[in-house]
Amino acid sequence: MVNSRVLIKGSLDRDPKMNDDGTVTLFFTNKIESYASTDIKEKGDSIFLVKLSKNQWRRIHKAVKKTDREISIMGFIKASINKKGTPFIYVSPIDIKIYPIPDVEELPKKRGFRVSTLSKSIDHKELPRISWIDKLNEDDFIDLSPELIYLTEEEHLKSNISSICFSKYENEDLYIAVRKTSCNRYALVSGINRFIVGKCLNKNFKAYVTELSRDEFMKEFVVK
């Protein structure tokens, strides 16, 4: 028995599919390299379907559409068949990165993705962690104003934060997790940096309401 994951690198060669629930589906065709063995080339190209959460797409959509960028996606895989009977490989992404390509002039107009599959027993401690935000849907969050949220967790009260890059959050929603303590009051559970930014800028939060403490939340969502 093995645990498998796939690494896909390349650039978009077709438009992403925007789904009704806010998720985005990317379709990639894996071109077989010329030096590959005959038996695999005879089987033809493979189709990879990668489904990004709304938050994952929001973070990369501007960069990934640029011609001088390359996307790298690592994810778990599952072989499947669509309604028309066409086989494809479903990829659930666990890590997404965008890289600049130095020499833009030498880029072809369309470039296929390079795909590497890694099949072995995996130490899950080595895998990139998925942000807890990406594990939730957009409708799991509610809008909360800064004055309704305060600090109660000892870890937050003793935080020693030397600097926060406010420009990082300038055009982004401030996602945090909170615990309801009274009719209209909430205690911060996770997202201390965003909490400070929201308080300073008087900017509303996108808040996920949970009954968990900070430690319980970190364990439940495997937060670093």
Q: What is the DSSP string of the chain?
A: --EEEEEEEE---SPPEEPTTS-EEEEEEEPPPTTS-HHHHTT--EEEEEEE-HHHHHHHHHHHTSTTEEEEEEEEEEEEE-TTS-EEEEEEEEEEEEEE-S-GGG--SS-PBEEEEEEE---GGGSPPPPGGGGS-GGGEEEE-GGGEE---HHHHT-------GGGGTTS-EEEEEEEEETTEEEEEE-HHHHHHHHHHT--EEEEE-S--HHHHHHHTT--
Instruction: Summarize pLDDT for 72-105 with one digit per residue, the tens.
Output: 888 888 888 888 777 888 888 888 888 877 554 4
* pLDDT above 90 coverage of the chain, percent: 19
pLDDT band at 106 (very low <50, low <70, confident <90, very high): very low
Work out the average pLDDT over 190-208: 92
Q: Phi, psi (5° rounding) for residue 101?
A: -105, 120
Mean residue pLDDT across the chain? 79
For residue 141, the model assigns a pLDDT of 92
Domain boundaries, the chain: 3-126, 135-220
Higher pLDDT pick, 43 / 210: 210
For residue 3, the model assigns a pLDDT of 66
For residue 224, the model assigns a pLDDT of 54
Instruction: Summarize pLDDT for 117-167 with one digit per residue, the tens.
Output: 444 444 444 444 567 887 788 888 999 999 999 999 888 888 877 778 888
Does domain 3-126 bear CATH number 2.40.50.100?
Answer: no
Does domain 135-220 bear CATH number 3.90.1530?
Answer: yes
* pLDDT above 70 coverage of the chain, percent: 78
